[in-house]
Amino acid sequence: MRFASVNYEQRGTTALITLDEPGKLNALSPGIREGLVAAFAQADDDDQIRAVVLTGAGDKAFCAGADISGFEFNTRYARDFMDRVLDVLSLPETTGKPVIAAVNGYAYGGGFEIAIACDFVLASKQARFAVPEINLGLLPGFAIVRLAELVGRQQAKYLSMIGEPISPQRACELGLVLEVLPHDQLLNRALELAEQLAHKPQLAIRYAKSVYNRSLGGADMTYAKDAMPVLFLDDDTREGVAAFREKRKPVFK
């Protein structure tokens, strides 16, 4: 089954959701975003599905983040963009079933964020994690309200202010990743974990997810949606995005 640019496959009691624009490193294009909304709705509505595995097509990328090719530099566009994207990135949190990210390559920006929104993150040894938005004059809208709780305030500041990629081993040390696996074992391990979860009492699984996630969203997410668009008016942001498009080093003033 296919929803826009996302493949959906039922494997027993597991829904395997695959971002499928490998030529664009599975960036969060309109097709990927539309497909994710439909795929998670399908998994949520199917009583046979007890767990979800989320991964990316190809060997290079899980998800390389936002597709910035159509960015416009005004606050109305930015606010609408934040609304759409943040709601998609939070899908793994808001679905009632456990979600496992099988990170097979680059998880940058929005790809990093949708991974940490999952209940469990498994990573290939060739995966890389980053929130590089600072290099565009921006900040990670979703991770900015999640990272401190996951890795502590100092590490969250470092990751979002420096923006450099980290290895899966370092991500595991920070608590962002549960297990690091050989690339060819990643998907099987994710499906195995999904099967383990499927054999547990499902009401207890749902309550566990609900309780652990009870403080997520709410005012923090609303603040991110309201505050982040201001950055789209900054000259450094225009320069950062232009440099990215032109494949050159930005000159921030």
Residue of 9, 113, 149, 192 with catalytic role: 113
Residues paired with residue 51 on neighbouring β-strands, in sequence order:
14
CA distance 245 to 206: 43
What secondary structure letter does DSSP report for 28? B
What secondary structure letter does DSSP report for 47? T
Taking the alpha carbons at both ends of the chain, their separation in whole angstroms is 48
Asked if 5 contacts 35 with a C-beta cutoff of 8 angstroms, the reply is yes
113 assigned to active site: yes
133 assigned to active site: yes
CA distance 61 to 25: 5
119 closest CA partner among 9, 184, 200: 200
Residue of 21, 34, 133, 192 with catalytic role: 133
CA atoms within 13 A on the CB side of 149: 13
Cα-Cα-Cα-Cα dihedral of 73, 74, 79, 81, to 10°?
-30
- Return the active site residues: 113, 133
